[in-house]
């Protein structure tokens, strides 16, 4: 799908902030002219997205490897395949999604037709993060395109290599309706001074507040996908190895840089003693004797985060792992014990391959601990009995996984969001 741009556009369809106002105006005019409305147009754009993913698969894998040390397996299953799936789903379902939804009428309106009409908002801006730089840019983009909007994409400047590939995107889309803008926090702040009809932001709660405050000035509706410390409760009734396999996999995937990864474990003292060797065994099996040489373990995105995580290694006591290597931004799959609630590792979202284990006396104490803190994006509970349901009933979180990790994300029939 080749792009159709006007003569004044830079050839890659990528704009620097100098012609930024022009870009916004161009996109708004295209929307006003009704370009993005016809279903054929939307399908064509989605197909263009599909081509982008297919034609650049190798390049994308390479970029993700450069940015985050992601193995082709991780890139495929957590980014490329999921995006392709979303594109396919949208193309298949578009007609149904776009249909007017008839509703029940009351006696007074029985002779009328009442329905809900789905309409695009207009100009949407999608601000993507660096940890799943492709997924968290393309997934919302699919939705925005399917709904008939014009979209401005702001990929993360921190995942530099993926950012470069994002610049190719407009070539596969109609450039009068879609554009990519590059820049850091300062440029993004300037961007947000302008009016958008919808803002989709994925990132930290701290920046989320800034985005929402900026949106408030224009009364722009927003979706904020933020983060939190996702608790993982492990009941005594479980088989430690099964639990360890699942928790370890989800914790160390993408070197722990996943917003829905289990952030810390809550379990009894006895369970902790059984879990530790099981975790050791799982880590050994997944990453071998020397995880640094395993092609399956990712790397920390940049120096700033590496140093932050290195600092956290001093909390409590290192039971497993604990090694780090600055030149590679490598941190070993680590498990910490004897961690206090007041330790730095429990004050912020870890976002790295470090798993603290905290002991609680019983389920009630665990639930209390969880409810004392901010609502997390995800909550996990492992149990062989109905305890899982108890945790579910007494807590609140964006999403919930019983006896597993964030597999629920792969179900496109379920909403993904926080609270």
In the complex with other proteins, which residue's Cβ is closer, 233 or 382? Answer: 382
Contact letters for other proteins, residues 219-258 (x by CB under 8 A): x-x--x-x-----------xx-xxx-xx--x---------
Angle at 155 between CA 92 and CA 83, to 5 degrees: 25
Q: Does 384 help bind other proteins (rule: CB under 8 A)?
A: yes
Strand-strand pairing, 354-359 and 264-267: parallel
Supply the minimum distance, in Å, between the C-beta of residue 220 and other proteins: 8
For 218, the 3-state DSSP assignment is helix
Residues 8/2, Cβ–Cβ less than 8 Å: no
- To the query of whether residue 83 is one of the catalytic residues in this protein, the response is no
Give the shortest CB-339-to-other proteins separation in angstroms.
25
HEC string of 121-160 equals CCEEEEECCCCCCCHHHHHHHHHHHHCCCEEEEECCCCCH
Task: Give 102 or 314: the residue with its C-beta nearer to other proteins.
Answer: 102
Query: For residue 150, which phi and psi values (nearest 5 degrees)?
Result: -95, 145
Which member of 54, 73, 340, 347 binds other proteins (CB under 8 A)?
73
* Residue 355 touches other proteins, criterion: CB under 8 A: no
Ranges within 388-407 binding other proteins (CB under 8 A): 388, 392, 394, 396-404, 407
Q: Does 217 bind other proteins (CB under 8 A)?
A: yes
Tell which positions 42-71 bind other proteins, by CB under 8 A: 71
The correct pick among 40, 108, 269, 342 for binding other proteins (CB under 8 A) is 108
Is 287 a binding residue for other proteins by CB under 8 A? The answer is yes
The smaller minimum CB distance to other proteins, of residues 187 and 197, is found at 197
Show the site string, 119-158: x = touches other proteins by CB under 8 A, - = not: x-xx------------------------------------
Q: Which is nearer to other proteins, 170 or 398 (CB)?
A: 398
Q: State yes or no: residue 288 binds other proteins (CB under 8 A).
A: yes
H-state helical runs in 266-406: 269-287, 303-312, 363-372, 387-394
- Residue placing its CB nearer to other proteins in the complex, 38 or 311: 38
How many residues bind other proteins, per CB under 8 A? 81
Closer residue to other proteins in complex, CB, 182/391: 391
As a residue count, the chain comes to 419
| Options 91, 145, 215, 232; binder of other proteins; rule CB under 8 A | 215
Annotated catalytic residue: which of 74, 79, 225, 349?
Answer: 225
Name residues whose C-beta falls within 8 Å of residue 242's C-beta, 6 or more positions apart in sequence: none
Joined tokens for residue 385: 């009995």
Give 301 or 391: the residue with its C-beta nearer to other proteins: 391
Give the integer Cα–Cα distance in Å for 79 and 322. 28
HEC profile of 246-293: HHHHHHHHHHHCCCCCCCEEEECHHHHHHHHHHHHHHHHHHHCCCHHH
Q: Are the C-beta atoms of 419 and 395 separated by less than 8 Å?
A: no
Is residue 228 classed as helix, strand or coil in its secondary structure?
A: coil
**Which positions from 162 through 191 interact with other proteins, judged by CB under 8 A?**
none
Say whether residue 310 binds other proteins (CB under 8 A). Answer: no
Give the DSSP H or E segment for 402: strand 399-402
Q: Give whole-number Cα distances, 8 to 28, 36, 153, 226, 366, in Å.
A: 17, 21, 20, 37, 60
- Site for other proteins contains 85 (CB under 8 A): yes
Mark whether 225 is an active-site residue.
yes
Q: Is 296 in the site for other proteins (CB under 8 A)?
A: yes
Q: What are the catalytic residues?
A: 225, 259
């Amino acid at each position: 799908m080749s792009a159709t741009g006007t003569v004044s556009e830079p050839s890659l369809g990528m704009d620097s902030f100098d012609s930024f106002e022009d870009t916004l105006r161009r996109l708004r005019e295209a929307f006003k002219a009704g370009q993005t409305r016809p279903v054929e147009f939307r399908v064509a754009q989605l197909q263009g997205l599909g081509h982008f993913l297919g034609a650049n698969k190798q390049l994308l894998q390479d970029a993700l490897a450069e940015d985050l040390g992601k193995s082709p397996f991780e890139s495929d299953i957590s980014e490329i395949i999921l995006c392709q799936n979303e594109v396919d789903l949208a193309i298949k379902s578009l007609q149904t999604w776009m249909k007017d939804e008839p509703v029940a009428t009351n006696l007074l309106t029985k002779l009328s037709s009442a329905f809900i009409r789905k309409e695009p908002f207009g100009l949407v801006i999608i601000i993507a993060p660096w940890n799943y730089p492709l997924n968290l840019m393309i997934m919302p983009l699919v939705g925005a395109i399917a709904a008939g909007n014009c979209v401005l994409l702001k990929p993360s400047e921190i995942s530099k290599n993926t950012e470069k590939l994002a610049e190719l995107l407009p070539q596969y889309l109609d450039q009068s309706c879609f554009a990519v803008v590059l820049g850091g926090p300062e440029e993004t702040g300037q961007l947000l001074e302008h009016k958008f009809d919808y803002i989709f932001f994925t990132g930290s709660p701290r920046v989320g507040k800034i985005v929402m405050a900026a949106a408030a000035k224009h009364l722009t509706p927003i979706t904020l996908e933020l983060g939190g410390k996702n608790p993982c409760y492990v009941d005594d009734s479980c088989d430690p190895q099964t639990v360890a396999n699942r928790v370890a996999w989800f914790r160390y995937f993408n070197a722990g840089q996943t917003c829905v990864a289990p952030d810390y474990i809550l379990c009894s003292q006895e369970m902790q003693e059984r879990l530790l060797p099981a975790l050791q065994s799982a880590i050994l099996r997944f990453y071998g004797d020397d995880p640094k040489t395993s092609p399956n373990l990712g790397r920390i995105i940049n120096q700033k985060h590496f140093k932050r995580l290195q600092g956290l290694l001093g909390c409590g006591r290192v039971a497993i792992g604990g090694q780090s290597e600055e030149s590679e931004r490598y941190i070993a799959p680590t498990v910490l014990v004897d961690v206090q609630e007041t330790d730095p590792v429990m004050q912020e979202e870890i976002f790295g391959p470090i798993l603290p284990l905290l002991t609680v006396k019983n389920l009630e104490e665990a639930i209390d601990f969880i409810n004392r803190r901010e609502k997390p994006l995800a909550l996990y509970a492992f149990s062989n009995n109905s305890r899982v349901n108890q945790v579910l009933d007494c807590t609140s979180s964006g999403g919930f996984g019983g006896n597993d990790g964030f597999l629920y994300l792969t179900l496109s029939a379920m909403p993904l969001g926080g609270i």
